[in-house]
Chain A
Amino acid sequence: MSRSIFLNFISWYYFERTRAIIQVWKNFLKFNLAYFSTGFLLKTFFSPWRKYQWSYGRGLDIGRYFQVFTSNLLSRVMGSIVRFFLIIIGAIFELLVFLLGIVAIVSWIFLPVILIIVFLFGLRLIF
């Protein structure tokens, strides 16, 4: 019985549980992108800020055309600057999540060894 339950434990620990942790890691990576709307911001990177746009109007008026063009361009530039910062913040968090995930998975795999080492260290401190 004990041998069979031990094998069961090993398969649960190293396959099922590790797979579950990887799944959680994936969830966080995916969620982080969704939370910071990274894909959406990239897609609308050069869109005018809050749809602020001016009409060129009828007839050819170079001065007016230039003025409207500048305003519209500014709106787009402003939008892309704000988006850029949020994308960067999102990317930093994504990196953090990525690294934390790796740490978690490695720790999980080596947890039995770590526990034994800590246990022995504890014993040494006592005796």
Chain B
Amino acid sequence: MIDFDLENTAIFQNIKWSKHPFLKGAHFLKYLFLILFFIFFALFLIGFLSSGLDKSSLSRLFGFSLLLFVLFVFFRIVNSFFNERIIRLDKRIKGSSNLAEKLSFSSASAVLSSIRFARREKLSHINSTILFYFVLKENPDLGFIFTRALISYKNTIKEVGKIIKEMRGKEKKKPVFSEDLQKVIEDFPKEKQKIEIGDILSSLAKFDPVFKEILIRADLNAKDIRNLTLWLTSLKKQIEEEKRWWEYKNLLKKGSLARDWASGYTINMDRYSIGWSRFFKKRIFNAFTGHQDEVRKIERILFKGEINNVLLVGRPGTGRKNAVMQFAQKSFFGESFPSLNYKRVMELDLSSLVSEIKDIEEVEAVLSRIFSEAVSAGNVILVIPEIHDYLGSEEKAGTIDISGIILSYLHLPQFQVIGITNYSGLHDSIEKKPAILNLFGKVELSEISSEEALTALEDSVPFLEKKYKKFISYPALRDIVDYCERYLSNLPFPKKSQDILEEAIILLSRTKEKMLRKEQIAQIVSEKTKIPVGRIEIKEKEILLDLENLIHQRIINQNLAVSEISAALRRARSGIRQEVKPMGTFLFLGPTGVGKTETSKALAEIYFGSEDKMIRFDMSEFQQTKDLSRLIGSLDIQGLLSVKTRENPFSLILLDEIEKAHPDVLNLFLQILDEGTFRDGFGRKVDLKNTIIIATSNAGYQMILDAIKEKIEWSSLKTRILDHLFQTGIFRPEFVNRFDGVVIFNPLSKENLLGIAELQFNKLKKNLFKKNIEFVITDPLKERIAELSYNPQFGAREMKRVIQNKVEDVLAKALLGGEIKKGDKIKIDPETFKIIKVF
């Protein structure tokens, strides 16, 4: 039994007081008396100025005005007392194990209302739905959460109200908490000092059956409610903080005078740089999400006496400039170290300097003047974006090598620089100049988490909504982050998510729709990534359900293989697969020419839309350890696998003749098959979670052929082949076990070859049909071709060549020689391979 007794808490007394009409009505009364005061005072003034009233009437009007004003002030004080002392009680009984002691005023009030309701209705249990009702009813603020989640707040209250009003009981004893309500209470965050109404709502989303049902209908879950609650809390906090204008922190936002009187003028610097202080004055940037640790590191380095220049290293799009802005804002409001406060953080626009002045010597002279101005001003921190472009030994268009000039300033304590660069810039340019590198303190900027990215999106919502006059729903924001994480994993947060949001709202602004919904996001992400995200579209559903038949239109035989692959894909797309692995991983074993590659091609075409979506690797090219770098890349070369999969994250990877690859290469795939990711030569994560990986091998094919000859039972063959592969050391068990399926491809029988011949001839027929020539496929021709190309060792591989030699060549000659022309109907003699016209 949980220890939860509301009546024995400090807040309980306050709730009772809050119900007192005198305190409850103070808010209304203060406004009432204020309005009345204005009316009476206005009447008095009119009477006084127009001399239309006698003295005693004027005196009475003034007397009323005074009384009303006193009453207004009185109720204003009472209302403040109610808000500050009664509602925001922070007095708690210390060391109490009573969980109710942690409840905030509104939380406790909702719980008390639930208890009273249960008593009134003589219910034996107080369940979570009753609490849910009172939480909603007593806290109109929560309307924000529901509106953003696209759930009607009013209808929800009505719906839940209807459910609880049907609850009737005859219990005379005190009602107890039901099991679901106990779970809700146990779920309250233990680490928090105060359980706010949002915490209760989040717990209710997990355990209350009615709320859960509502969320399922809206395609949401408890985590979404938690996120929305945090959003609401942060907004309320922001508004509350801004309201308290008398706080020192808020007063400081007014800025200060005369800070630069002791600093020199910076005429050249002002011309070629952008000062950020005006953004902060206009409050263009308010909240920054994430990177607090990195900002603290920047401050520590700039504060230090010796090396006081910062080199900020991070992937483009990780919010490098934002981190510097965050520091600049702290400095502007005097919230950093004393020696860093009120500095002018200036972004040096080197590209405009270089483009404006053509003569390099003159550029260097101006730059030198800018740097000396920065030194003499004594209050400047220069920000140089993409600093590696200006420290390179190679001359590139639009850049200049400033190493020589900057080196003579960097060691000066009055000269402070924040250089922004990326990893390749650091390795390729800056690390090659240790004299410069040593004068910088390095700060590495990591990517912000998906939770922080969501918060960043939420922070940008008010600005975007105001600008475009559209409403942005929470599911749209959630899906942006979700899709970015899943399908754009090669790009960093927060840029990728911000870009999608901006793109979506711009597109939306061109339509009449008023709201940004998740469907629009899915569409944008699908177009961007060529991945069919979102709800499985009807066409895709049809493909998935009919996958076996679709593949069989191209593949003869191999029923087992096809059905295993189809099942895996259905699992992947319906959302029940393990998200950490690729969509499907298969090892195809079988002799050459039985359709292993053809199956893969068919799958790429049917599922990913085109055969071009198949990334093929001949693994015999990766037989040495050094070949690994060709696959994943190194500092010198780009990796084939990493580049191709980054370009096409939704594709089929075919690893032909996997048994020929070096064990180190197999180890790489061991990780990929397990986790769906790997790190490339630059240490960047490459995501293969949206790929199907198929490895093919003809190792052990002889056993398959023997099995056919000796008519060994097919079901035991797979185990025998695998045993053989493990014993001979071709594959390790842990490698093979990581595949979703090991599929044995049957050798083709003559009947199968007839089918394949039909398929091949159909392609030919189609081509001829385009030329208005009808090609009749006859059974004897198919049989003859199958006979000529049958070879158990090479399967159907010979067939293409045979058809080319015997049929296509003949047709080509006839077409060129005018032997056959438009409108003809032809067939081929199976013995002589001559064209016969059919009439």
- Residues of A whose CB lies within 8 Å of any CB of B are 1, 4-5, 8-9, 12-13, 16-17, 24, 27-28, 30-31, 34-37, 40-41, 44, 47, 49-52, 79, 82-83, 86, 111, 115, 118-119, 121-126
A51 to B264, Cβ gap below 8 A? yes
Stretch at the interface among B67-75, B115-123, B745-753: B67-75
Query: Per-position contact with A for B715-734: 1 when CB-CB < 8 Å, else 0?
Result: 00000000000000000000
A124 to B256, CA, bound (A): 50
The answer, yes or no, to whether B59 is at the interface (CB within 8 Å) is yes
The answer, yes or no, to whether B223 is at the interface (CB within 8 Å) is no
Contact of A50 among B59, B70, B74, B263 (CB under 8 A): B263
Stretch at the interface among B203-211, B247-255, B764-772: B247-255
A86 to B258, Cβ gap below 8 A? yes
B70 to A118, Cβ gap below 8 A? yes
A2 to B683, CA, bound (A): 70
A1 to B23, CA, bound (A): 13
Dominant SS at the B interface? helix
A122 to B67, Cβ gap below 8 A? yes
A51 to B378, Cβ gap below 8 A? yes
A44 to B378, CA, bound (A): 13
Contact of A79 among B255, B261, B378 (CB under 8 A): B261
A47 to B259, CA, bound (A): 13
A28 to B73, CA, bound (A): 24
Could you write out 20 A-B pairs with CB less than 8 Å apart?
Answer: A4-B13, A13-B77, A16-B84, A28-B251, A31-B248, A35-B256, A37-B256, A37-B259, A41-B258, A50-B263, A50-B265, A51-B376, A86-B257, A115-B74, A118-B66, A121-B63, A121-B66, A124-B63, A125-B62, A126-B64
A126 to B64, CA, bound (A): 7
Dominant SS at the A interface? helix
Tell me the smallest distance from the CB of A29 to a CB of chain B, in Å: 10
User: A16-B85, A125-B62, A125-B63 known; A27 and B262 CB under 8 Å?
Assistant: no
Contact of B248 among A8, A30, A115 (CB under 8 A): A30
Return chain A residues, CB-CB under 8 Å to B255.
35
The answer, yes or no, to whether B377 is at the interface (CB within 8 Å) is yes
Return chain A residues, CB-CB under 8 Å to B378.
51
Among A1, A8, A86, A126, max chain B CB count under 10 A is at: A126
Return chain A residues, CB-CB under 8 Å to B248.
27, 30-31
Query: Per-position contact with A for B231-274: 1 when CB-CB < 8 Å, else 0?
Result: 00000000000000011100110111111111111000000000
B85 to A8, Cβ gap below 8 A? yes
A125 to B66, CA, bound (A): 9
Return chain A residues, CB-CB under 8 Å to B260.
50
Return chain A residues, CB-CB under 8 Å to B85.
8-9, 12, 16
Tell me the smallest distance from the CB of B671 to a CB of chain A, in Å: 56
Tell me the smallest distance from the CB of B30 to a CB of chain A, in Å: 14
A83 to B782, CA, bound (A): 103
A34 to B251, CA, bound (A): 10
The answer, yes or no, to whether B81 is at the interface (CB within 8 Å) is yes
User: A9-B81, A37-B256 known; A122 and B261 CB under 8 Å?
Assistant: no
A5 to B587, CA, bound (A): 78
User: A1-B17, A51-B263 known; A83 and B251 CB under 8 Å?
Assistant: no
A31 to B334, CA, bound (A): 11
Q: Nearest residue in A to B264 (C-beta to C-beta)? A: A51
A115 to B63, Cβ gap below 8 A? no
Query: Per-position contact with A for B32-75: 1 when CB-CB < 8 Å, else 0?
Result: 00000000000000000000000000011011111101100110
Tell me the smallest distance from the CB of B93 to a CB of chain A, in Å: 17
Contact of B70 among A1, A37, A41, A122 (CB under 8 A): A122
A33 to B255, CA, bound (A): 12
Q: Nearest residue in B to A125 (C-beta to C-beta)? A: B63
Contact of A5 among B17, B80, B258, B265 (CB under 8 A): B17
User: A16-B85, A124-B63, A126-B60 known; A31 and B70 CB under 8 Å?
Assistant: no
B252 to A51, Cβ gap below 8 A? no
Tell me the smallest distance from the CB of A53 to a CB of chain B, in Å: 9
The 5 closest A-B pairs by CB, nearest first: A125-B63, A122-B66, A51-B264, A44-B262, A31-B251
Return chain B residues, CB-CB under 8 Å to A24.
246
A35 to B251, CA, bound (A): 9
Return chain A residues, CB-CB under 8 Å to B80.
17
A37 to B258, Cβ gap below 8 A? yes
A118 to B257, Cβ gap below 8 A? no
B257 to A12, Cβ gap below 8 A? no
A125 to B60, Cβ gap below 8 A? yes
Contact of A44 among B17, B59, B74, B261 (CB under 8 A): B261
Return chain B residues, CB-CB under 8 Å to A124.
63
Return chain B residues, CB-CB under 8 Å to A17.
80, 84
Return chain B residues, CB-CB under 8 Å to A9.
81, 85
A51 to B414, CA, bound (A): 14
Return chain B residues, CB-CB under 8 Å to A111.
73, 77
Tell me the smallest distance from the CB of B399 to a CB of chain A, in Å: 32
Among A4, A13, A79, A122, max chain B CB count under 10 A is at: A122
Q: Nearest residue in A to B334 (C-beta to C-beta)? A: A34
User: A34-B252, A35-B256 known; A123 and B262 CB under 8 Å?
Assistant: no
A90 to B260, CA, bound (A): 17
B261 to A50, Cβ gap below 8 A? yes
Q: Nearest residue in A to B78 (C-beta to C-beta)? A: A9
A126 to B63, Cβ gap below 8 A? yes
